[in-house]
Structure 1
Amino acid sequence: MTNTMKLTYNDVRGLAPILHGTVDASTTDGNGHMNVRHFYGAAVTAADTMLESVGVDDGYRGIRQMGAFAAEHHIRYLAEMNLGDRYSAHGLWLDRSSRAGHFMVFVLNATTRTLACSLELLVVNVSLTSRKPEPFPADVTARIDAGITEVSRLDWTASISRSMRVRQSA
């Protein structure tokens, strides 16, 4: 296993890309690099895509009257991205309980071949009518579980927050 503190571009690029982008003038700041809000925006857009891929989408909200609410985020900025740099975002499901999902998004700088950012997320499945947590439906948990099993094929582990985790029901 790769040391979690030494996670590299090559480790993460084996995960399927969720989105691609290029740093442009509208995403840079006075320091001449991509502003943190745009790192976060790219990672959250990829996270939304991951949720949609397991069935938490507009139909889920409209028909089932459920959605995923963010409970926690932990972001790490690991390397700059400068004007013209190309990037991609890649995601990985880590764990779930009946009502919560834990996953990560990694932003890679394809130009410099570096791991630029990681975003760890904890989301809770919520009824949009009662605004209270509810179990994920079986089809959604099956898709999340399929994503979690992908972790077993990796030869590295994600560096996760020690305080963020799903709580399993007793």
Structure 2
Amino acid sequence: MESLLVEQFRGDVENLPAPVHAASLARLVNDRYTWETLSAALRRPELRERHPIGVPRKPRCVATDFLHTIPSRRPMTVTLPTYDQVVRLPREFGPLVVPPEYEDANGHMNIRHYLDLGAEAIDTAFRRIGLTDDYRATRRQGFFTAEHHLRYYAEVHVDHRVSAYFRVVERSDKIIHGMALLVDDTTEVLANTLEVVAPHVDLTTRRVVPFAPDVAEAVDRELAITEQVGWPVPVCGAMGIRAQRDRAGR
């Protein structure tokens, strides 16, 4: 694995197996442990002989176009919206009664279903923006997920009713930063958030491209709607769109 990590930082990522390619993404999303592993590997004499590359170069990978993690070690205070605040957003999914098969060994809904329900909410919102199967087929463009962050705030149990909502946090000319919010309608609490950075991609070249004007207008309409709710999005603080953050001095 270490030798493959060295290869990927030489820029030869196109033919690497998927797990190793994921490791290259981890570095770009602020995984300091991957970087430390690589640095240690470069100090090993036997690896230096096989890979005399010196300082790792920027990987030749589409991820470098759209991963916009902002390294931060400062603690953040997150103010969570109330149930009543969240449900003022357009509902994207639900209400769903949690079935028994969603339960895990700990007696609550398994983590993978939080991700699935949040992803369903995001997909519904993106279809409303116009990013449908027809859009992908005719324009050969779509959205990838470059990065996501899950947070869990309350347990959800079998037979509880849940619903999912979506907010656009910010956008650039190529990227949407958004968040799905899963609420427990039975207990009336925010249960989970799924924060995503989604770049707009040419499906032929697999490169990040700007939105068409009609898509940009649709995203702005969505942003205007979600900004009317009057409460801050509980973002993690470790991801976002770099240009906006730089202008804000963060």
Same fold at TM > 0.5: yes
Q: Does 1:95 align with 2:176?
A: no
Equivalent in the alignment of 2:228: 153
Q: Does 1:131 align with 2:206?
A: yes
Partners of 2:128 and 2:92 lie apart in 1 by 10
- The correspondence of residues 2-151 of structure 1 with structure 2, limited to 5 A, is 4-20=78-94, 21-151=96-226
Considering only aligned residues, what root-mean-square deviation do their CA atoms show, in Å? 1.7
Equivalent in the alignment of 2:243: 168
Partners of 1:152 and 1:95 lie apart in 2 by 10
Q: CA deviation at 1:75?
A: 0.9
Any idea what SS the aligned residue of 2:235 has? coil
Does the 8 Å contact 1:97/1:167 carry over to 2? no
Which structure ranks higher in relative contact order (CA pairs < 8 Å, sequence separation ≥ 6)?
A: 1
Q: CA deviation at 1:12?
A: 0.4
Q: Choose 1 or 2 for highest CA Rg.
A: 2
Identical positions, percent: 33
| Structure that is richer in strand per residue | 1
TM-score by length of 1: 0.93
- Unmatched 5+ residue regions in structure 1? none
- Unmatched 5+ residue regions in structure 2? 1-76
Q: CA deviation at 1:168?
A: 3.5
TM-score by length of 2: 0.64
Task: Name the CA shift for 1:6/1:101 in 2 (closer, same or farther; >3 Å).
Answer: closer
Runs of 4+ in 1 over 2 A off after TM superposition: 167-170
Partners of 2:176 and 2:119 lie apart in 1 by 15
Count of residues paired in the alignment:
168
